Amino acid sequence: MKWMLGLFLVMAVLVIIPALESAFAAGDEPGEYLDRRVIIWNLFFRMMTVAFTVGAVVSGTIIWLVWRFRESHPKAKPTPYEGTDW
């Protein structure tokens, strides 16, 4: 549970800090403007990179689990709790 709270805290920091940075990003000079399209695209690209990375890790873990614990695995034996003895 503690690691989950830390994970959500890190994700919140990844979202909140760039949002605050763009909210207070007005220039000192009157002629300097903030191009919101660039900032929105940057946030979208950053979050999509994180989403694809997390998705790749989860997919790889699922593939490894299915491959490791398949029934035709040579070392796969039923546990004592399954009730069959080989």
pTM over 0.85: no
- Terminal CA-to-CA distance of the chain, rounded, Å? 38
Best CA proximity match to 25, nearest among 11, 38, 15: 38
Token pair 């940057």: residue: 42
pLDDT in tens, 66-85: 888 887 877 777 777 766 65
> Which residue ranges make up each domain of the chain?
33-69
- What radius of gyration, in Å, describes the C-alpha atoms of the chain? 24
How does residue 30 score in pLDDT terms, banded at 50, 70 and 90?
low
Q: What is the predicted pLDDT for the residue at 51?
A: 92
Which comes out higher in pLDDT, residue 35 or 57?
57
d(CA 3, CA 31): 46
**What is the spatial distance between Cα 16 and Cα 19, in angstroms, rounded to a whole number?**
5
What's the pLDDT at 55?
94
